[in-house]
């Protein structure tokens, strides 16, 4: 009977222990409370007294159990994120990345913006004649050296095919080029912009008194032009000139100072001509076979010199830099082939066609200032389009506009009237200075 009574008391003691609540109510408990709950009423009073005395001592010393470090306590919160597997990851040790500091990010943005603004406005130039503003990062000296280097490479590539300086075609082209360059000098209204024109053939040279002659075919070409030829199109030349004249912008002409102009005629059936930076003019005999009159040749040379006046090669290099950066950004979102196609159709080709139209306009004014009838220019570009084989999609898929569109833009009333006014002044012997 006594055995049953002791067993019943043990069962009641265990039942009382579990009914009082869970043992671990928090991640960490006081050791005395845990012992008292586990052992129940069997704990001696002396342990209880020790616990109370320890608690009072800790309070007098300022020690609090709530601030004791415990790696399993949730209050520490050293983790910075929990992954999909519910694993807590702790913060990285060491210095943080600079971008994570808002102050550092703001400083970088402000400094970077200041540098970009300084570079942009510090390299912004105004194109002569058209008054268009453009960004050119390439220095004038570097551009000049590039043109001279390409000129030497071209002469080496066509060695043996360069006509001598005393050849009739060489003398003729050189005289026409001299007229265009002299008109450029008068337009810039500087005392000495360029040196005497030289022939680039390494084999021989020509006396300077030969350049004093005039071309017998210069003058009125017999072509008629009227206001009915006006084509309604974009007014970019008019708008850019008006805007910059009101703002007092001065054209950039320092890259034309002190140039050593040279001309070579290459015997090659290529319908082409070019003017490299630094004043290096190249004409192929294939062009002379299709354009035989002096005003026609002067139109082509004037167009090529217009590229050098506007620094189109240096501007193209600058634009290609921005296009490459834009392509790298597009590569993150679309396929590389599609990005290249979009960049070419929407940026590179339209920009190239716009430069060609600008060179046409500058060349037209140089042609008129040199004493050649500017009314021949639209016919030349229309003929050039037929020789090159214009297509319906050339205005969208080519680096050069169609000859028909170039002729239409030059035949606009406002453009042609300006050129005719310059031509009349030059024909009267008064010349035109500073008309750019």
To which H or E segment does residue 89 belong?
A: strand 88-90
Separation of alpha carbons 69 and 65, rounded Å:
9
> Which DSSP string corresponds to 355-390?
HHHHHHHHHHHHHHHTT--GGGHHHHHHHHHHHHT-
**Which helix (H) or strand (E) element contains residue 187?**
helix 168-188
For residue 151, give both structure tokens. Answer: 């000129």
Q: Is 81 helix (H, G, I), strand (E, B) or coil?
A: strand
Cα 310 to Cα 308: distance, rounded to the nearest angstrom: 5
* Catalytic choice (262, 304, 315, 418): 304
Q: The tokens 């319908």 sit on which residue?
A: 271
No. of helices (H) and no. of strands (E), the chain = 16, 8
Dihedral, CA atoms, 64, 69, 70, 76, nearest 10 degrees? 110
Q: Tell me how far apart the alpha carbons of residues 213 and 211 are, in angstroms, rounded to a whole number.
A: 6
In contact, 12 and 41? CB cutoff 8 Å: no
Q: Which residues of 266-287 are buried (b: 16+ CB within 10 A; e: fewer)?
A: bbeeebebbbbbbbbbbbbbbb
Q: Examine the residue annotation and report whether 304 is marked as an active-site residue of this protein.
A: yes
List residues with catalytic annotation.
304
């Amino acid at each position: 009977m006594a055995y049953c009574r002791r067993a019943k008391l043990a069962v009641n003691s265990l039942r009382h222990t579990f009914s009082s609540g869970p043992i671990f109510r928090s991640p960490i408990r006081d050791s005395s409370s845990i012992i008292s709950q586990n052992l129940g009423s069997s704990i001696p009073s002396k342990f209880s007294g020790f616990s109370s005395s320890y608690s009072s001592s800790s309070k007098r010393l300022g020690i609090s159990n709530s601030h004791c470090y415990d790696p399993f306590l949730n209050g520490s919160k050293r983790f910075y994120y929990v992954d999909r597997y519910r694993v807590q990851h702790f913060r990285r040790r060491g210095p943080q990345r600079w971008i994570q500091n808002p102050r550092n990010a703001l400083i970088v943005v402000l400094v970077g913006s200041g540098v970009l603004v300084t570079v942009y406005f510090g390299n912004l130039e105004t194109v002569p004649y058209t008054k268009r503003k453009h960004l050119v990062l390439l220095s004038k000296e570097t551009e000049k050296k590039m043109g001279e280097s390409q000129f030497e490479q071209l002469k080496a590539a066509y060695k043996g095919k360069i006509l001598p300086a005393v050849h009739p075609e060489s003398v003729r082209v050189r005289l026409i080029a001299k007229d265009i360059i002299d008109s450029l000098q008068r337009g810039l209204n500087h005392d000495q912009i360029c040196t005497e024109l030289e022939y680039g053939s390494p084999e021989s040279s020509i006396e300077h008194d030969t350049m004093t002659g005039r071309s017998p075919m210069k003058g009125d070409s017999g072509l008629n032009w009227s206001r009915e030829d006006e084509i309604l199109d974009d007014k970019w030349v008019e708008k850019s000139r008006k805007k910059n004249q009101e703002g007092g912008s001065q054209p950039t002409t320092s890259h034309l100072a002190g140039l050593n102009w040279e001309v070579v005629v290459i015997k090659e059936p290529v319908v082409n001509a070019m003017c490299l930076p630094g004043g290096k003019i190249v004409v192929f005999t294939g062009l002379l076979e299709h354009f035989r009159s002096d005003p026609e040749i002067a139109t082509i040379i004037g167009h090529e010199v217009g590229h050098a006046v506007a620094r189109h090669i240096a501007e193209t290099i600058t634009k290609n830099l921005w296009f490459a950066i834009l392509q790298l950004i597009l590569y993150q979102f679309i396929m590389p082939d599609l990005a290249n196609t979009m960049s070419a159709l929407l940026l590179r080709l339209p920009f190239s066609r716009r430069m060609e139209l600008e060179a046409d306009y500058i060349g037209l004014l140089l042609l008129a200032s040199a004493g050649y009838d500017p009314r021949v220019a639209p016919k030349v570009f229309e003929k050039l389009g037929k020789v090159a084989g214009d297509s319906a999609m050339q205005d969208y898929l080519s680096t050069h506009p169609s000859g028909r569109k170039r002729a239409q833009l030059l035949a606009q009333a406002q453009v042609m009237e300006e050129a005719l006014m310059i031509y009349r002044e030059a024909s009267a012997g008064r010349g035109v200075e500073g008309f750019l």
